[in-house]
Each structure stands twice: as C-alpha cells, then as structure tokens.
Chains A and B, each alone.
Chain A
Amino acid sequence: MNASAEAIAAKPSTVTADKLGQDQSTATTVGEITSANPRMRCREVNVWYDDNHAIKDVSLDIGQNEVISMIGPSGCGKSTFLRCLNRMNDTISTARVEGSIQLDDQEIQDKSIDVVPLRARVGMVFQKPNPFPKSIYENIAYGPRIHGLTNSRAELDELVETSLQRAGLWKEVKDRLDASGTSLSGGQQQRLCIARTLSVSPEVILMDEPCSALDPIATAIIEELIDELRAQYTIAIVTHSMQQAARVSQRTAYFHLGDLVEVGTTDDIFNQPQHKLTEDYITGRFG
C-alpha cells in the first residue's frame, strides 16, 4: 500500500483510497493506473458508438510480462477498451476513439500508423474460437505468409510447429495437420487461435473472454497456457469470471458503465476493494 500511496501522490489522476463511490458516475479511477515497466500506456481514452459514450476517460498502463484482467458487468466497456489496443474498433464504422494510446512510446491512435504491423505486434484472441475454414496447418501458416516471415517451406513448417507447441496443441494435432481447423473441439480450436496469434510473434496479446465458450477442463488448460505465456508476452484479458481473473492475472481493472472504477493488484482488488462499486461487484451484489 505504501508504494501505491507514493504513486498516487505523484499522479493527479488517481485518488486516495477512501471508500467513496456512492457517486455512480465517478470520473476518476481508484488505485494505481501506472505500471513499473509499461508496454502500453493509455491516457484519457474515450470511445463513442454514434452517440453512445462507451468508454469515458480511461487511463491505464499495461506492463511488461504481466497479465492484467479486465472485469465488470456486461456492457461496461471492457471489450471495447480491449479492442482499442490494436485498433480493432476501426472495423466498426460507427466507432470513434479519442485519447492517447501508446505502444512502447509510439502513439497508435495516430492515423499515419499502419495497423498491419501494429496488429502483428498486438495480437488478439476472441471470445468464440474462430479458426478459418482451412486446414490446421494453413490456419497457423496464414499470419507468417501474409507478413512474409519465412523464406522457405522448412522454416514455415518449423514456425507452425513451434507455434502449436507454445499453445500446447502440437501433441494433439501433429498427425493431422491437414485436417480442417473447424474439426477440432472447442478448446482445441481456441488453442489453435492462440497458436495462430503466436505465429506472428506478437509482443502483446489481447484476449476477449477466451474461455467463455469452453468447458471447465478446456478452460483450465487455457489458463495454464496463459500463465506460461506471461514469461514472454504481455497479456490483457477480458473475463466474466472473477475466479479466472483471480487465477490468471497479477493486476485487475474493474470497469463500470464505461468508467474504469478501480485498478490494482489482483490480490488487493479481491481482498480489499477500495471502491463501493468494486466491492459490490466482487461480492456478487450485482453483475
């Protein structure tokens, strides 16, 4: 708590931890938004869908080799915020994003930034497994091919193998790389999608409720995988399951109606929530 108190003094955008929060439309965030070793730095991000203000002045750092989970009730904007981080909101014609989002001190909101290399650096895994209707091999080879990452078939084979190995899928599919990606089970499909994301060597991986369509066993495998991936990647995960957030993440951010209400270490958020809304949510009073 001491470390965070010092940081709070330095940052005007944070507020000391006295249980405020009767005011529902809090514009300020409780807790420590900064990270010791930030890879992505978001400041005063606002998102509108037409006239609907979906994200309100959210500022948050995402640190190197950490898993940060974003929780909150449905429609709180956590997925929208995640999609800002690799500019996936560009594909929604009504969406408008304002504010500053930096990846390694480079402003990604800048219209002159090419989204193609950005999305190769910031990969994304979706809620529903979405393998392409191609073979397992082609699903993985797709990314390296469009980015020209390999020079020969042998190199590509190797990259496919290492990607599948890192996603923990290699042993299960090595004998049927020509089978269709859609023929796998749901959990395998999701690991295939993770392998696909890893194949282009991203630095940050965004996961949008990656386990919500999976059974508990497949979920456990993916959670284990996330923990292993942390050593090499920076991971931001949106989840509906508070247990999952508690299991996989080091930091947790609580969103409510487009506001980032509270952010802190996962332990603190779940054991000593500072904000009334956070406490209500994690104790199951709503959401």
Chain B
Amino acid sequence: MSPTLLLFVVLAAMALAYHLGRKRAIRVVGGVSQINRLHSLPAYYGYYAALWAGLPALLLLLFWIGLQEQILTALTVAELPPEVTADLSEGRLSLLISDIRSVATGNISSGEISPEVAAAAEHYHRLEGIADLALWGLIAALVLAGTAWGWQHAKPSFRARNRVESIMMLVLILFSSIAILTTLGIVLSVLFESIRFFQKVPWTEFLFGTKWSPQIALRAEQVGASGAFGAIPLFTGTLLISFIAMLLAVPIGLLSAVYLAEYAPRKVRSWAKPVLEILAGIPTVVYGFFAALTVAPFLRGFGESVGLDIASQSALAAGLVMGIMIIPFVSSLSEDVINSVPQAMRDGSYALGATQSETIRRVIFPAALPGIVGGVLLAVSRAIGETMIVVMAAGLAANLTANPLESVTTVTVQIVTLLTGDQEFDSAKTLAAFALGLTLFVVTLILNVIALHIVRKYREQYD
C-alpha cells in the first residue's frame, strides 16, 4: 500500500467533500435562486469541507511516513533476544538492523541469515502490515470525520469565507516557516560544528594564522604530524581571485550596460540581452573546465613566450574566467539601475545642450552610482562564494601571495577538498570545513546586507 496511492485517495476525497459541502449549502437555503441568503458563496462551503477532509489526513500521512520506519525498527529491536543484542556496538547493531530490513523486504543481506534475524525480519514484516492497515484506517476515519464536520457546517449563518481565508493564511504561514526554518537549521548546524572545531583549534589561530596545512596525525610520531589551521592564506587567495574577477567584470559589465541602456537601438537590444543571459546560464562547471583546459594553458604558454613564469593553476586564469561568469550579473543589474534613472534627468541634461556621453558621465552615472555599487557588491559576494571554477582552475597549495601569476587556493576549494572522500566527522580537519563555511557565510551575508541597504536607499530617492 503505497503512500502515493493514499495521497491520491485523500485528494479524491477532498474533491468529493468540496462537492458535498457546496451542494448542501445550496440545498439548505432552498436552491440556487436563494444563495444570497448564504453568508458566503456556496463554493466557500465546499472549500471548507474539502480543507477539513484533506488537511488533517495529509498531516497525519506526512508524520507517518517520517516516523514509521524508526518506530517499527525500535519495536523489532526490542523483540530481539537479549543475548543477540547484549554485546553489540552501535555500528554492529545498525548492520544487524539493515540485515533484518533487507530480509524483510526480500533484498540480499550481508551474510548468512541466522534464525534470530529471520524471526526478527518476519516480525518486522508483520508490523509493517499492521502499520499499513492502521494508517488506512486512521486516514479514512479522519477524512470521513472532516467531511462530516464541513458538511454539517454548510449553513446560511456559517461564515465559511472568513474561515477558509484564515485556513489559507495558516497554510501559507506553514510553508513560509518551512523555508525560514530550513535556513535557520543550516546556519545552526554549521555554527555548532564550527564551535566543535574551535574547541580543538583556537579561533585566534584560525582567523589570524598564516599557515594552512590541515593535517591531523594518526600516530604521534608520524611525518607532518603538526597541523596548521591559519585561514589567512585561504582568504587572501579568495580575495585575490575575486579581485581579478571584478577587475574584468565591472568595467565590461558596466560599459555594456551603458551601451544597452542608453545607446543600443531596440533591435540590437532585443538580441544582445538574451545572448548575455545565455552567458549567465552556462553551468559553472563548464566555465571551470574552460578555465582549466583553455585559459590556463594559454596563459602559461603566453608567459613562457615572454619569459614569465606563470603557474598552470594561476590565480589569473581562475579570476579571469570567474570574471567572465560574472559579467552578465553586473551588466543586467547595472542596466536595471541605469534604466530606473528618470527620463526627466536625461531631458534636463539634453535641454542644456549636453551630449549623450556628457549626460551619461555627469548625470546618469552619478545618479545610478549607489545602485551600481550595490550591484557590484552582490557580484563580489557571488565571486567569493563561487566554487566550481576555482575547484577546477585554482590550486590546492595555500600560498600567501599577492602575485596573480602564482597558484593560490580559496576557501571554497578547501571546503571541497576537506569534505570529499572518506572522512571522519570528528577530526579537526573535517570540522575546519564548517568553520570555513561559517566565515564565508558571515562575509557574504555582510556584503549582501550592505548591498541591499545601498540599493534600497537609492530606490527611495525617486519614489
């Protein structure tokens, strides 16, 4: 009995309840000609019945799906003979449980099936059957009770419209709180893991240390036993690459925005804008291999021909490609801002005999500047958080350097390397990823807040 089938049954029941509620509302007042005696339109009585028929049942279904497996497992484990579970570690117990479940669902288990496991699996299977039946029964009861409740309320004096409106509001609040709570949950989990990290490594060392070498020795006498968690090289690397990216993206994005907003004939704009948007739609991983396979070797070859030593994973290559990725972002934000400068400003300037470029430089640009700054800051926070390009094109070695021709690494690259592959989740090495993530989050959050503040302040000026 799948939950999907149940879901459809509930939805069908809702449709039926709507029909019944509406019908009854009309019948109670004595036909369609009398519906103005009802407090609300008949459909609202239908909605009311449908919501009562469906919502409790759907909520129950949601909780049931979430909890069924855990409860059944707990019940099964409790039924196991004590001598089987007595001296099992946590890991072995979960292995045993997955064995039981595999046998119960007819999958392949990890080894010989002992009689205890077979018995437990049968027990599990039986419990599952009972649970299914109980679910069906409960849902049917809820749907029937809800329908009856709604149906019985279809009376002229009942304020169905107001009730439906408030139920709708509750549903909307529920969904928006899901979004908010998810964000909160992510932030808190990163925060708690970071606190665990800072218990192992002092935060002063993390924020101000200049050496990054996230090694934790397995044995005391191991080579490279000393780990260093100074994040400064990572942040300078991130800033260097972002700076190169902005150096490319801001002028190109801004000037193309000026062209598109002020000079371009309608025809040019109608195809140039979509092309820019395509640039924004290229997956970052594609930019990544473009950087690693095309730009970096080209720069290296070019460097050799003029006698410069350019690392094959130079900050320059990653930064340039990231800049190209950000161009459409800067350009579309700036274009919006430039377009929102009132035409009256342009007219005023033209009427004084200013040329188009004088008008742009001296009137439109200063007027749009706060908005442009806000857009650029948003682009910077985008660059700082960008991962895929730097994973593929930037290096892994944490060099503390300002030379764009050398290889640097970034915060995001280190997070990826720390967390990919088999990792233990209690060593400082892995926990460092959370601390890095938290710092990155705080930095981009601050940038975004400043940017949005500037943009909003600017908006007020002309409203």
Contacts and interface: CB of A to CB of B under 8 A. Distances in A.
Contacts of B355: 116, 146
Interface string B340-376: 0010111111111111001000110011000000000
A99 interface: no
Nearest to A119: B353
Contact of A133 (B352, B354, B461): B461
Interface in A187-203: 193, 196-197, 200
A270 B352 CA distance: 34
B344 A126 contact: yes
Given A88-B350, A143-B353, A197-B351, A133 B344 contact: no
B347 A126 contact: yes
A206 to B, nearest CB: 8
B417 to A, nearest CB: 48
Given A126-B347, A134-B366, A196 B353 contact: no
Contacts of A235: none
B266 interface: yes
B353 A118 contact: yes
Given A88-B347, A130-B347, A93 B352 contact: no
A142 B344 contact: no
A88 B351 contact: yes
Contacts of A118: 353
A133 B366 contact: yes
A56 to B, nearest CB: 25
B362 A130 contact: no
A133 B355 CA distance: 18
Contact of A146 (B265, B345, B348, B353): B353
A124 B351 contact: yes
Interface residues of B, number: 21
B351 A133 contact: no
A193 B353 contact: no
Interface in B323-353: 342, 344-353
A132 B348 contact: yes
A96 interface: no
Interface string A121-154: 0011010101111100000001100110000000
A116 B353 contact: yes
Contact of A91 (B347, B352, B358, B367): B347
Q: Interface of chain A, helix or strand or loop or mixed?
A: helix
A193 B348 contact: yes
A120 interface: yes
Contact of A147 (B347, B353, B362): B353
A86 interface: yes
Contacts of B344: 126, 128, 130
Interface string B206-237: 00000000000000000000000000000000
A161 B358 CA distance: 23
Contacts of A193: 348
A120 B366 contact: no
B206 to A, nearest CB: 44
Contacts of B346: 91
Interface string A65-108: 00000000000000000000010100101000000000000000
A117 interface: yes
A119 B266 contact: no
Interface string B265-280: 1100000000000000
Interface in A146-179: 146-147
A163 B331 CA distance: 39
A120 B363 contact: no
B352 A123 contact: yes
Nearest to B265: A93
A182 interface: yes
Contacts of A182: 461
A146 B461 contact: no
A193 B345 CA distance: 11
Contact of B353 (A93, A128, A130, A200): A200
Nearest to B350: A91
Across the A-B interface, the 5 shortest Cβ-Cβ residue pairs: A130-B344, A120-B353, A124-B351, A119-B353, A143-B352
Interface of A: 86, 88, 91, 93, 115-120, 123-124, 126, 128, 130-134, 142-143, 146-147, 182, 193, 196-197, 200
Interface of B: 265-266, 342, 344-355, 358, 362-363, 366-367, 461
22 contacts: A91-B346, A93-B265, A119-B351, A119-B352, A120-B352, A123-B352, A130-B342, A130-B344, A130-B348, A131-B348, A132-B348, A132-B349, A132-B363, A132-B366, A133-B345, A133-B366, A133-B461, A142-B363, A143-B352, A146-B353, A146-B355, A200-B353
Given A126-B351, A146-B352, 13 more contacts: A88-B351, A126-B344, A132-B363, A132-B366, A132-B367, A133-B367, A143-B353, A143-B354, A146-B353, A146-B355, A146-B358, A146-B362, A196-B352
